[in-house]
Amino acid sequence: METSAYGASLAGGSFDFESFIKQPQTILRVLSWIFSIVVFATITAEGFMNTQGVPNSKCIFNDNDGACSYGSAIGVLAFLACVAFIVLDAYFPQISNAKDRKYIVLSDLSFSGVWTFLWFVCFCFLANQWSHTDNPHENSGDAARAVITFSFFSIVSWTLLTVFAYRRYRRGLDEVGLGYNDPSPDQTTPYPPYPNAPQGYQQSPFSQNPTGQGSYQPPSY
C-alpha cells in the first residue's frame, strides 16, 4: 500500500476551481467569512448609538464598549483568517513536502479550535449584555439580534472546520505510522558506477595479436 502523508505524494496537477469550490471545507470557510462580515460590519455601522445628554456614543450592548470592541475584533480576525486559509487550501495540492503540509494542517486545526472557543465566548458575552440592556434603542434591536445570531452560526461553522482539520491531521499521522518517508532527493548518495561491458562481448576479429606474431603464412611463389 502506497502511503501519502497529508497527501504529499499526490501533489501536482492543475488547479480545478470547480471541484475546489464544491469541497465541504471550502464551503464552510466561505460561510464563516460571510458570518464574520455580518458581525463586525453590523457592530461598526449600528453598534454604537448616541444618547440624549451623552456626548459620546455608547455600545448598544448594555452601554458596554468592551462588548462591541470584542465582537468587532473577533469578526475582523476571523475574516482575515478565512481569506488566508482559502488561499492555502487552493495552494495546498501543489505542496509536495510532507512537513510543510503538516504545519499548515496544524495551523488550521489550532486556529479553528481557538476561534470556535472565542466565538462561543462572544455569543455568550453579547447575549448576556443584551439581556441586561435597559431601554434599548428602537433601531438597535435588529442589529443586536443579528450580531448574536451570526455569532452563534460562527460557532457551528468553526466547529465543523475544526473537525475537518482534525480528520486531516489524524489521517496524516496514520499514514506516517505506516512508514511514509518524504520523497525528497538525497544529496549525499554518490552516483552509481559506470556499468561494465555486457556479457558475451567478443574481441573484434580485425584486432592484431599484441605479440606481433600470428598464424598467417605468406604464400610462396
Is residue 195 in a domain? Answer: no
Taking only the tens place, the pLDDT of each residue in 141-193 is 889 999 999 999 999 999 999 999 999 888 877 765 555 454 454 455 555 55
Is residue 56 in a domain? Answer: yes
Is residue 93 in a domain? Answer: yes
Is residue 186 in a domain? Answer: no
Taking only the tens place, the pLDDT of each residue in 72-120 is 999 999 999 999 999 998 888 888 787 888 899 999 999 999 999 999 9
Confidence check: pLDDT of 201 > 90: no
Model pTM score: 0.72
Look at residue 15 in the predicted model and tell me its pLDDT: 67
> By C-alpha distance, which of 91, 86, 81, 88 is closest to 113?
81
**CA-based torsion, 119, 124, 129, 130: positive or negative:** positive
Tell me the mean pLDDT in the region 134-147.
80
Domain that holds residue 98: 17-177
Is residue 154 in a domain? Answer: yes
Q: Average model confidence (pLDDT) for the chain?
A: 80
Q: Could you tell me if 134 and 177 are in contact, meaning their C-beta atoms sit under 8 angstroms apart?
A: no
Is residue 142 in a domain? Answer: yes
Look at residue 150 in the predicted model and tell me its pLDDT: 97
Is residue 50 in a domain? Answer: yes
Cell of 179: 512508514
Q: Residue 159: enclosing H or E segment and its boundaries?
A: helix 140-177
> By C-alpha distance, which of 42, 91, 88 is closest to 68?
42
Confidence check: pLDDT of 63 > 60: yes
Look at residue 2 in the predicted model and tell me its pLDDT: 38
Is residue 221 in a domain? Answer: no
Total number of domains in the chain? 1
Look at residue 3 in the predicted model and tell me its pLDDT: 40
Cell of 44: 461598526
